[in-house]
């Protein structure tokens, strides 16, 4: 079968002239256009995405691998989403970036593509886009930062939440804050804890879309560049053999990713992103799969935010292969991966070098892992909670609702000394869902009222239709579906209503009668977000709910890689 790029570079006459001539202005000799697999390097480098700011260097290592294997590497930029920088939230633009990736891959003379992913949304957006084209694809993650060091101890992004509390209660000064921020992000790479970026890197490795150890080698470790080189080499082989994401991303692969994520204590954002990816590749996955499949998996990794260590420690302890090997009795070991070996084969020899970081399946770090999928009149289509990051004493709790209508209302009143709240209350935040914010920001682990923190209380039940940072923790119910902005019952919770959270029985119940709720629904007025044009307007009209992956409805599935018309 001729290479796809042949339809550009192998042409005679005017078209071939056009497709080759301008490329030659970069100094490429003619023989490169004669049948070498063109490997696109999809780069999310941006100085506004600090976690990916080392990607130019990484791309050079990838190119060396592509050259060595006889390919022709061509790098291209796509929209880059910096989690900490972009307003109102990177999640609002995940689907937009995926469209950029999809069309860039399809429209260009690409035989195989390497996705350079790092900061949270850069992984799902690139994988989603690539799945909708289904050309040979391999992922390379940028790697985690080294753990920070502050006043003699290791710190990472999860400490931000603790520091913020200490700052609020006066235990930490602004000067100490500034010192801590410099100590935390001290090297290249994405967040050093098992936050969303590392969760995504582990997701692609356990799905089989990346080479072994992709998830954990620190960004600044020379072995990250070795992996980049090997990824470049492998991409050429994938292009030659036409091995596509749809060959790798089977239902079994998705099940593996869910179970591995549970053992890692990965981010709740994993659910939304994996659902969206499944939707693109056409694998049937439901919210309940996350609960059912993770129910049999204990927490093996002792990593922040569920535990104490950092992703670099996981690498030194044996990396993801050691976790995967530990789970071999439950995983689909035969699932094929991108290097031509099955997941089981890749990890057969993996060793654990530190049981304080990777526990054995017989003596796990914690019995509970993964996500609990809750149902009830407050979330008929589901809501999620991460048991490993929650407080055991709050897992079964009934309390009085303290309601915030939106994020502005929350910010205005949360520290009001007159706020009628005590530690047994349930904080409810509305209108932070996919449509309501818009973009479903990471505000679900809302900070407790100052006067509660001052009592030394650090956790309360919190409920919202938003998300939580993968670095966050607490007894936080997230992703309530349907969201308040589309008239879900969350919209009708009022101050003083009683709410029961019962994690063991997977229940979230609002103690308000159906008749009363119907009456409140009759008075419901949809909020006007005031986005009358542009992408956000399109997004609001087409975004699906959290339990469906919050993709745009018209982006589900694939359009393949064929482009029927030429550019001239």
Could you list the residues that contact ligand FES (CB under 6 A)? 51, 83-84, 119-120, 157, 190-191, 195, 197
Which partner, Mg ion, ligand FES, none, binds residue 191 by CB below 5 to 8 Å per kind? ligand FES
Minimum distance, C-beta of residue 241 to Mg ion, in the bound complex (Å): 35
Please identify, using beta-carbon distances, which residue of 112 and 439 lies nearer to Mg ion. 439
Q: How far is the C-alpha of 224 from the C-alpha of 222, rounded, in Å?
A: 5
What's the full length of the chain, in residues? Answer: 568
Cα of first residue to Cα of last residue in the chain, in angstroms, is 25
Nearer to ligand FES, 244 or 273 (CB): 273
Q: How far is the CB of 145 from ligand FES (least distance, A)?
A: 8
Q: Which positions ≥6 away from 507 have C-beta within 8 Å?
A: 374, 375, 376, 500, 501
The piece of 190-198, 338-346, 403-411, 524-532 that touches Mg ion (CB under 5 A) is: 190-198
197 binds, among ligand FES, Mg ion, none (CB under 5 to 8 A by kind): ligand FES
Print the binding letters for residues 48-87 with Mg ion: x by CB under 5 A, - otherwise: -----------------------------------x----
Q: Could you tell me which residues come within 8 angstroms of residue 563 by beta carbon, excluding any fewer than 6 positions away?
A: 106, 107
Q: Label residue 530 left, alpha or beta by phi (over 0 means left) and psi (-120 to 50 means alpha).
A: left
Tell me the closest approach of the beta carbon of residue 77 to Mg ion, in angstroms. Answer: 22
Buried b (16+ CB within 10 A) or exposed e, 226-242: ebbbbbbbbbbbbbbee
Residue 97: in which H helix or E strand, if any?
A: helix 94-107
Q: By CB under 5 A, which span of 116-124, 248-256, 356-364, 403-411 interacts with Mg ion?
A: 116-124
Q: Minimum distance between the CB of residue 421 and ligand FES, rounded to whole angstroms?
A: 30
From 95, 122, 196, 256, residue interacting with Mg ion (rule: CB under 5 A): 196
Q: Are 240 and 75 within 8 A, CB to CB?
A: no
**CB closer to ligand FES out of 191 and 283:** 191
Q: Tell me whether residue 191 or residue 257 sits nearer to ligand FES (CB atom).
A: 191
Part in contact with Mg ion (CB under 5 A); list of ranges 117-125, 251-259, 317-325, 338-346: 117-125
Q: How far is the CB of 49 from Mg ion (least distance, A)?
A: 12
Within residues 442-471, the interface with Mg ion by CB under 5 A covers 469
Return the number of other C-beta atoms located less than 10 Å from residue 556's C-beta: 17
* C-alpha distances in Å from residue 232, one per residue of 29, 118, 549: 21, 17, 30
Q: Considering beta carbons, is residue 83 or 237 the nearer one to Mg ion?
A: 83
Measured CA to CA in angstroms, residue 15 lies from 21, 30, 37, 568 at distances of 10, 16, 19, 7
Structure tokens at 401: 């609702």
Stretch that binds Mg ion, among 98-106, 114-122, 212-220, 294-302 (CB under 5 A): 114-122
CB contact at 8 A, 112 and 136: yes
**Contact predicate 85/49, CB 8 Å:** yes
Least Å distance, CB 129 to ligand FES, is: 19
Least distance (Å) between residue 313 CB and ligand FES: 17
What is the SS3 assignment for 115-145? EEECCCCHHHHHHHHHHCCCCCEEEEECCEC
Cβ atoms 115, 142 nearer than 8 A: no
x/- contact string, 119-138, with Mg ion (CB under 5 A)? -x------------------
State the Cα torsion 34-36-37-43 to the nearest 10°: -100
Give me Rg for the CA atoms of the chain.
Answer: 24
* 54 interface partner picked from Mg ion, ligand FES, none, CB below 5 to 8 A per type: none
Task: Candidates 142-150, 191-199, 215-223, 236-244: pick the segment binding Mg ion (CB under 5 A).
Answer: 191-199
Torsion of CA 495, 393, 478, 422, to 10 degrees: 30
Q: Are 518 and 489 in contact (CB under 8 A)?
A: no
Which partner from the list Mg ion, ligand FES, none does 291 bind, CB cut-off 5 to 8 Å by kind? none
Task: List Cβ neighbours of 87 (8 Å cut-off, separation of 6 or more).
Answer: none
CB of 124 to ligand FES, least distance (A): 13
Strand 383-385 relative to strand 372-374, pairing: antiparallel
Binning the chain into helix, strand and coil, the percentages to the nearest 5 are 40, 15, 45
Cβ distance to Mg ion smaller for residue 120 or 551: 120
The interface partner of residue 84, options being ligand FES, Mg ion, none and the CB cut-off 5 to 8 Å by kind, is ligand FES
Nearer to Mg ion, 122 or 469 (CB): 469
Select the span of 112-120, 153-161, 249-257, 519-527 touching Mg ion (CB under 5 A). Answer: 112-120
For ligand FES, the closer CB: 40 or 50: 50
Q: Please, which residue, 5 or 44, has the CB nearer to ligand FES?
A: 44
* Closest approach of ligand FES to the CB of residue 190, in Å: 3
- Asked if 111 touches Mg ion (CB under 5 A), the answer is no
Identify the CA nearest to 440 among candidates 89, 73, 14, 35.
89
Question: What, of ligand FES, Mg ion, none, does residue 180 touch, CB below 5 to 8 Å by kind?
Answer: none
18 or 84: whose CB is closer to ligand FES? 84
Shortest reach from residue 122's CB to Mg ion, in Å: 11
Q: How many residues bind Mg ion (CB under 5 A)?
A: 4
Q: How far is the CB of 523 from ligand FES (least distance, A)?
A: 40
Distance CA 218, CA 398 (A): 43
- Closest CB 91 distance from ligand FES, rounded Å: 13
Q: How far is the CB of 461 from ligand FES (least distance, A)?
A: 26
Applying CB under 5 A, the residues found at the interface with Mg ion are 83, 120, 196, 469
């Amino acid at each position: 079968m001729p290479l796809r790029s042949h339809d550009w570079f192998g042409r005679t006459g005017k078209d071939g002239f056009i497709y080759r001539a301008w490329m030659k202005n970069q100094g490429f000799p003619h023989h490169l256009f004669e049948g070498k697999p063109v490997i696109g390097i999809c780069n999310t480098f941006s100085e506004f995405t600090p976690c990916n700011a080392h990607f130019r260097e990484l791309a050079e290592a990838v190119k060396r691998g592509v050259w060595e294997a006889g390919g022709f590497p061509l790098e291209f930029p796509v929209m880059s989403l910096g989690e900490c920088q972009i307003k109102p939230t990177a999640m609002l633009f995940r689907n937009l970036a995926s469209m950029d990736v999809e069309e860039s891959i399809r429209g260009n003379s690409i035989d195989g593509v390497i996705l350079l992913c790092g900061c949270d949304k850069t992984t799902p957006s690139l994988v989603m886009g690539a799945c909708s084209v289904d050309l040979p694809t391999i992922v390379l993650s940028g790697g985690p930062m080294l753990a920070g060091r502050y006043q003699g101890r290791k710190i990472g992004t999860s400490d931000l939440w603790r520091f913020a509390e200490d700052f609020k209660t006066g235990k930490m000064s602004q000067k100490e804050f500034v010192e801590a921020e410099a100590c935390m992000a001290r090297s290249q790479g994405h967040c050093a804890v098992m936050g969303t970026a590392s969760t995504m890197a582990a997701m692609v490795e356990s799905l089989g879309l990346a080479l072994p150890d992709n998830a954990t080698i620190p960004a600044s470790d020379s072995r990250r560049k070795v992996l980049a080189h090997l990824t470049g080499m492998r991409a050429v082989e994938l292009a030659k053999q036409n091995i596509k994401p749809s060959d790798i991303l089977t239902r079994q692969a998705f099940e593996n990713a869910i179970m591995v994520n549970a053992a890692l204590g990965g981010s709740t954002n994993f659910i939304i992103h994996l659902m969206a990816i499944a939707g693109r590749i056409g694998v049937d996955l439901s919210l309940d799969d996350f609960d059912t499949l993770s129910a049999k998996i204990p927490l093996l990794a002792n990593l922040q935010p569920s535990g104490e260590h950092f992703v670099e420690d996981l690498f030194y302890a044996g990396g993801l292969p050691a976790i995967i090997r530990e789970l071999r009795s439950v995983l689909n070991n035969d699932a094929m991966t991108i290097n031509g070996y099955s997941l089981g084969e890749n990890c057969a020899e993996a060793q654990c070098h530190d049981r304080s970081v990777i526990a054995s399946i017989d003596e796990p770090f914690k019995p509970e892992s993964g996500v609990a999928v809750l149902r009830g009149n407050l979330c008929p289509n589901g809501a999620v909670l991460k048991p490993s990051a929650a407080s055991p004493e709050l897992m079964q709790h009934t309390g009085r609702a303290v309601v915030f209508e939106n994020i502005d209302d929350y910010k205005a009143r949360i520290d009001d000394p007159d706020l009628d709240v005590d530690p047994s209350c349930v904080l409810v935040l509305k209108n932070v869902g996919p449509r309501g914010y818009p973009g479903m920001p990471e505000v679900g682990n809302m900070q407790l009222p100052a006067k509660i923190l001052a009592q030394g209380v650090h956790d309360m039940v919190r409920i919202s239709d938003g998300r939580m940072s993968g670095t966050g923790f607490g007894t936080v119910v997230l992703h309530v579906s349907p969201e308040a902005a589309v008239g879900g019952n969350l919209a009708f919770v009022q101050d003083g209503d009683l709410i029961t959270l019962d994690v063991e029985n997977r229940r979230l119940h609002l103690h308000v009668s159906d008749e009363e709720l119907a009456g409140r629904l009759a008075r419901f007025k949809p909020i006007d977000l005031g986005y009358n044009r542009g992408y956000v307007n399109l997004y609001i009209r087409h975004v699906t709910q959290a339990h469906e992956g919050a993709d745009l409805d018209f982006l589900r599935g694939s359009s393949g890689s064929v482009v029927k018309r030429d550019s001239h």
